[in-house]
Structure 1
């Protein structure tokens, strides 16, 4: 018993630590954006690419990263992703021009696309389906809450007391430690498969996602059209020509995979509205400093972390409906806030409600979207689930950024909460999530 428990604990700790680092980086960047803009001379449009560049490659390469994890081994891909993520963080922290920082964020997103599906795959293959896996997903999701909390605090403190550069450089020592742990604890967790990579599917799928996301971000209809054409070609390749497809279409016959992926698209827009736009509201409307904004988001991060641990105790549908109610109430409340509302009455209450909704919803969706999946496809489905979430966040950021005021941003996010409630009814009727 001891020989099995210890590796399982180490694997879960590693997966949670990787998720912590990815979310830490995102939350730190959100708080530091105004300072980055002033220091490097970003335009308002260019500043969005500090976030969008990461989302573009993260979402665009996620399917490829997930399939590569299944083919070449979870340990290899997780370690390679950690190295690329850490190295690009070093370049970003030393950037002297907007172009260098954006380029570093693009590479960092590619590293995350290799890393993230592998963490989900090792959880899926290391814990039996049911309560044990649900608890593991709850811990994995809660680690994101810890990362959000630490990022909100550390981002404000580092930006105010040291420099925004350290919000990137902090990933370097963390990544080095995690690489050492991965090299030892993941040995033999997933055998390498004797299959070739579906190059045609990889090219059409990755290019299609990237073109679609870029087009939405930039409002370029030609890029959106090219992305849709490439994704259509990807489906044809996978269905008709690929002998060993990168994304086996048979997986969409699993209702949790299909419906869960659609729900994660909607959820991505809600998450970006919560963390990105609430941070900007605190600094641009209420006049908070970066440190104050970080402290202001900490209660919501703590709430998400705590609530995520409750996921295994209630059915999936009930959790999603309760989470949607929190989104509707929280964003509706937040939409009423203005410069005269103050933090306690205008921001704290609604963000706590929204955080409860995120804590109920995110781990539930990840568990639903990866349930009943063959072990050999765990990385692929993990990549699909995270691709859906990231595409939703990227499209959500691009669409919500077109609104001139925050009240419309938060009202649209409330509408996404209603949509999640409606679509969640299509999930299979199951017991505890």
Structure 2
């Protein structure tokens, strides 16, 4: 089987997952009307999708060692397809939550880790692997960036339900194409699934991501409004933001999870995640750069989209077109991943990517400050996109390549969880800064972009700290 025929369905699967994460944002109002619910109800569905996917990414990845990588991928595709079909025909919010938030979320958690594992084990050559990681990363970035545009077009000219039917059709195509992908031979006996570890990791990650998402509504300091659970006010307006209790509970559960992993390994049983992964300094720094990259990318897309719609009155279609330079930059640099990997070290590419991204964001901040012409956003977005595409592929390649085949299930789930957390934090952080800077007055978009630039500089520092030995 040709490499292209193998990678095509994997890239399509990554595209559709990323597309689903952003396409619904432009259809909230018509969905609320058709489902007989409120805007808050639809936003809750979107939040639950993010929580489900984030919470189950590590357990889903471990199942690749239990069921097999290809079988896990197919199971995820089928669950996702059923969920998208239910969402397309949903008569009310309950069915929408079941289809979109639960089944599509679980399906995403099952199918995303095998995508990266299959590429890692199929292509031992670093440069070739970089090429196909670039294809998949580019497909993911393309899905996230074009989700509002494609979703806006379909919602405007057909219906939001057609957007979910499109997902069903693409999933069906992937299932047909994936049948030709060879299933990697097992190098070890099927692992025993660590149920206790799965529950602890899922609950811990859920509360961490929930805390991050709550910041957009309640802020990071004091609660902007009452925080209620089941109709009862738990934290009144002006009290401590619910972000911190949620983060604290998540951190506590994750600490118990780590203790459980240690005890499980000492008892000679198979843990959900091997702690030896955290002894690899280049991989740990690479995971840090991954989190920052996704935070910066999603945050920048979010800030720019809100600015164009709120400050300049763009609709969803025009906003998607305005973000095209960033998408083009990501695709161009992702397409060059193999050539870059053959001539430059992974560490060098990550550092260069952060430098380009920071320069692009500073340029975007400087140009839009003095005017509103469309050309003023294009150079900065293009430069930032080139930087993001360069380092996204290099970081994934560095992290995945740092471990042998036996650890690919573990590191793939951990890597995807870190990236997902970065994405959630990017949107939430940018949104909370925009709200905070807008009261009573200020420059909310400039303030939010400035915060993202600072975070990108932190990522650059992490990249510089990568040992040169990781260049190989």
What is the TM-score when the length of structure 2 is the normalising length?
A: 0.83
The answer for the alignment partner of 2:8 in structure 1 is 13
SS at match of 1:61: helix
Q: Deviations over 1:331-368 (max 9, x none)?
A: 334345379513222x2222212211211121111111
The answer for the alignment partner of 2:212 in structure 1 is 216
Q: CA deviation at 1:267?
A: 1.9
Structure 2 portions without partners, runs of 5+: 215-241, 436-443
Structure 1 portions without partners, runs of 5+: 1-5
1:93-242 equivalences under 5 Å are 93-98=88-93, 100-107=95-102, 108-148=104-144, 150-190=146-186, 193-218=189-214, 219-242=242-265
Q: CA deviation at 1:247?
A: 0.6
Q: CA deviation at 1:265?
A: 1.8
Q: Matched residues in 2 for 1:10 and 1:134: separation?
A: 17
For the Cα contact (< 8 Å) 2:149–2:316, is it kept in 1?
Answer: no
Matched, 1:342 2:337: no
For the Cα contact (< 8 Å) 1:135–1:309, is it kept in 2?
Answer: yes
> Which of the pair has more CA radius of gyration?
2
Alignment coverage as a number of residue pairs: 427
Q: Matched residues in 1 for 2:184 and 2:331: separation?
A: 31
Q: Matched residues in 2 for 1:102 and 1:339: separation?
A: 44
The answer for the alignment partner of 1:369 in structure 2 is 399
Q: Matched residues in 1 for 2:37 and 2:449: separation?
A: 26
Q: Matched residues in 2 for 1:397 and 1:98: separation?
A: 24
1:308 paired residue among 334, 337, 358: 334
The answer for the alignment partner of 2:465 in structure 1 is 426
Q: CA deviation at 1:210?
A: 0.8
Matched, 1:383 2:379: no
Q: Matched residues in 1 for 2:370 and 2:84: separation?
A: 35
For the Cα contact (< 8 Å) 2:9–2:178, is it kept in 1?
Answer: yes
Q: Deviations over 1:258-304 (max 9, x none)?
A: 11112222222112112333223222222112221222222321221
Q: Matched residues in 2 for 1:340 and 1:39: separation?
A: 39
Tell me the C-alpha RMSD between the 2 structures. 2.5
For the Cα contact (< 8 Å) 1:25–1:167, is it kept in 2?
Answer: no
Q: Residues 33 and 418 (structure 1 numbering): CA distance in 2 closer, same or farther, change over 3 Å?
A: farther
Q: Matched residues in 1 for 2:359 and 2:92: separation?
A: 41
What is the TM-score when the length of structure 1 is the normalising length?
A: 0.90
Higher relative contact order (CA 8 A, sep 6+): 1
For the Cα contact (< 8 Å) 1:323–1:360, is it kept in 2?
Answer: yes
Q: CA deviation at 1:77?
A: 0.7
Q: CA deviation at 1:381?
A: 0.8
Q: CA deviation at 1:105?
A: 3.3
Q: CA deviation at 1:248?
A: 0.3
1:66-81 equivalences under 5 Å are 66-81=61-76
1:407 paired residue among 439, 446, 461: 446
Q: Deviations over 1:386-421 (max 9, x none)?
A: 110101111232232212222222111111110111
